[in-house]
Structure 1
């Protein structure tokens, strides 16, 4: 009897293992790509994007999804574009060769623009979580989408804010000559001019510049009452410190890529008073921001750096497209995305004919006592269920 008693659980275990293996063999693995800077100066942003996308994958898999009557499991495939356009093209092809059904990426416009052609030629959807340069969606690729607003709108908002709210009359502009920084600066200038403002100087640096003494000395001589910088937070921090050292009292205004904990750490007390416009709502005003923040901290034991909610929505939107299309065929996913209306963590998600987010929100932040404080929220619409066919305009 003892021998028989021992054999029964073993037989039961073998049967359950067989069922588990058979189920695993029946599951279809659906690959979603993520392309971001996972090494280098912007690695913290890339990791933040990866973490956000992975949470969307986890949430989807927890629901035991199926497509065409068969169980599926979603898996994230991450590649490092190093914030370099040439590398971006290489890793984009790697994702295509892995047969991903869509891509979350890239982070910066300079990478998204050349990579978009690779994805388009393969017929694969690309949803950029943070590439704000309008040129990304002006290439005519029906596979290119973005989950936040672009710089043309952001520049108009920022320019109008500088003239009408900050009452600036003598505005100087600095840009880092990247696709991102130059795009921001040019659109800001258009926004200033459209609002009746005056740009007295436009200086140029690079994204590798460490010493801003030359351009700031030239600008100081022209007595600006506002300086706009088109570039990233890691560049803006030493710029702010050097402004204080040169006793330049004009406030600094930036847009996109400023509002991070890294800027606060690098700029220190000199950062107080800096104003920036960032695409999207502040986390606490997003539709699912509070819950997402708690989920992110519980899983990754760290605060959100910047764009994780947008990466989450990009991945979740790709997943929703496979579910709505009931297919993993890239062509059907692309078509479904063009008709997509859904509520995400960051807000209502629908795309216009170019692939831009419909009615995006922008937030004005200012550094006060070493923290980013919300000044105002501009734009942004109602939840997706109340949207009409504006996605096709």
Structure 2
């Protein structure tokens, strides 16, 4: 199921393609909703009749959380697989007691596995007084790489900065010990 956005449809299409390339996996249905939807019962009822092992949802947390919650309300036991757009700090509020049935993908290394992750999270919480956003560690590292390249280029010209970026030696959070 996807939310018909470029992001959600793109995820669902890639999931479907990868699943079809795996022996033993069968995509039995591909449905679309929209990114403003709040009632997924018609789609979920159709899915329930097919008794899938898993349901992929391509979209964001506002719809994905409700989708997972309504699936549980309809007593669908299939796991809901979702991308990082669904798997935000808002998921618990939106999916309520269905979060245990949601499996999330995440690009990059999980914060808790990063050697510098715990310290970064502590400083982030102190500074911003809000839970860390999923891509904050990567954005943090990207800013440092760009700033170092700007210093070496002694310029704010994007072309000159780009020429200096490969020379940056930055131990990012995922590898910092």
Answer whether TM exceeds 0.5 for this pair. Answer: yes
Once residues 175 and 60 of structure 2 are traced to their aligned partners in structure 1, the CA distance between those partners, rounded to angstroms, is 25
* Structure 1 residues 1-393: aligned runs within 5 Å: 174-196=1-23, 197-338=25-166, 340-347=168-175
SS across alignment from 2:150: helix
- How many residue pairs get aligned? The number is 176
Q: Greater share of strand residues, 1 or 2? A: 1
User: Once superposed, what is the RMSD of the aligned Cα atoms?
Assistant: 1.9
Once residues 133 and 155 of structure 2 are traced to their aligned partners in structure 1, the CA distance between those partners, rounded to angstroms, is 34
Once residues 255 and 210 of structure 1 are traced to their aligned partners in structure 2, the CA distance between those partners, rounded to angstroms, is 19
SS across alignment from 1:315: helix
Per-residue deviation, 1:246: 1.2
> If the length of structure 2 is used for normalisation, what is the TM-score?
0.90
Per-residue deviation, 1:341: 4.8
Contact 2:81 2:103 in 1 (8 A): yes
- What whole-Å deviation, never above 9, does each CA across 1:48-67 have from its counterpart, x for those lacking one? xxxxxxxxxxxxxxxxxxxx
Contact 1:293 1:304 in 2 (8 A): yes
Contact 1:287 1:344 in 2 (8 A): no
Q: Which has the larger radius of gyration?
A: 1
Contact 1:313 1:346 in 2 (8 A): no
After TM superposition, the structure 1 stretch with the greater mean CA deviation from structure 2, 182-191 or 257-266, is 257-266
Q: Unpaired runs of 5+ in structure 2?
A: none
Once residues 101 and 68 of structure 2 are traced to their aligned partners in structure 1, the CA distance between those partners, rounded to angstroms, is 10
Once residues 152 and 47 of structure 2 are traced to their aligned partners in structure 1, the CA distance between those partners, rounded to angstroms, is 54
Once residues 96 and 33 of structure 2 are traced to their aligned partners in structure 1, the CA distance between those partners, rounded to angstroms, is 22
Once residues 150 and 114 of structure 2 are traced to their aligned partners in structure 1, the CA distance between those partners, rounded to angstroms, is 24
SS across alignment from 1:257: coil
> If the length of structure 1 is used for normalisation, what is the TM-score?
0.42
